[in-house]
Amino acid sequence: METTTPQKSSRSYGVPIVLAAAVVLLCLSSGSAFVWWYLKSAGGDVTIKLSQADLNAIQKVDHDPPVTGVGPNLVVPRRRQVRTAPVGMGLPDGVFPSGDGFVIRAGQVLVRVSAGDTPTLIFRERAWGLLQDRPVFTIARRIVHEAPLAQQLAISADQMKALKDVVASPPVAGKYLAALPVKDLNMRMVTLLWLHFIKLRTSTDTASKDRARSELLKITQVVGASALTQARGEYDEAAAKIRDIITPRQIEAYRAGTSLTAP
């Protein structure tokens, strides 16, 4: 007797093949949609928060000319642009622990206070950019520190001596970026208010504590504003001195990159 093996019809493969193809198409379309969304969003604006140390490192205010746009409005090309959030000024006024001491934020200044019975108070600009180099600061620094440039611009011995004095002054040397020029009387007044405030920190007299804090912040803000005004005035005076020392012809030669001593 002959036996025959039943043959499977080719039609039985039709449904699995169609389902597999549909799954593959669905995966490809989902992947394409994700790639399109990622590339589209990658070109958007990005907000980056930079610390004060980062901003100082970018600008190198002690020796180099300012970098355009550094500070609250730093713009770095990246398809569209990268923006930085304001540093310092967006934080509330008040007294806050910081390391081994404290920080007072009041108005446009930040005061670092060491701990102890005889504290040291250092006034600084609260946000980068309140004190800005003048363009001639860079010219003066380069002439003093780069002998070939001084020779190129035909700087005399008298000019060099005068420029060295200006370059060593607090505004051009960048000393006011580390500590603002606070008058001794003002410093003693803020120090006394600070000691009074600290003494009341553990007191249960809430009204007295609030008054001490309010008075400390108010006077600190006034003293800080005065110090900033003095610093800005000295920046302007230093710039004026440099322009008096270096002749317009020498400044023009510097900007044009030409030599005044070439044959």
3-state secondary structure 164-204: HHHHCCHHHHCHHHHCCCCCHHHHHHHHHHHHHHHHCCCCC
pLDDT of residue 106: 96
pLDDT of residue 202: 85
Cα three-residue angle 119-170-106, rounded to 5 degrees: 45
Residues facing residue 123 across a β-bridge? 111
Cα three-residue angle 38-39-43, rounded to 5 degrees: 110
Q: What is the DSSP letter of 67?
A: P
Best CA proximity match to 159, nearest among 150, 146, 147: 150
DSSP letters along 199-240, please?
HTTT-S-HHHHHHHHHHHHHHHHHHHHHHHHHHHHHHHHHHH
Find out whether 125 and 177 touch, Cβ atoms under 8 Å. Answer: yes
**Run of H or E including 23:** helix 14-42
Instruction: Enter the pTM of the model.
Output: 0.64
pLDDT tens, position by position, 63-111: 333 333 333 333 333 333 333 334 445 689 999 999 899 999 999 999 9
pLDDT of residue 128: 84
| DSSP reduced 3-state for 26 | helix
pLDDT of residue 19: 56
Q: What is the mean pLDDT of each run of 10 residues along the chain (263 residues)?
A: 48 53 57 48 40 47 36 34 43 91 96 92 93 95 96 97 98 96 96 95 91 96 97 97 97 94 77
> What is the Cα–Cα distance from 121 to 105, expressed in whole angstroms?
12
* Amino acid occupying residue 110: L
How many Cβ atoms from other residues are within 10 Å of residue 214's Cβ? 11
> What is the Cα–Cα distance from 134 to 240, expressed in whole angstroms?
10
pLDDT of residue 75: 34
Cα three-residue angle 90-94-96, rounded to 5 degrees: 100
Which residue bears the tokens 């005065």? 226
> What is the Cα–Cα distance from 69 to 178, expressed in whole angstroms?
21
pLDDT of residue 244: 97
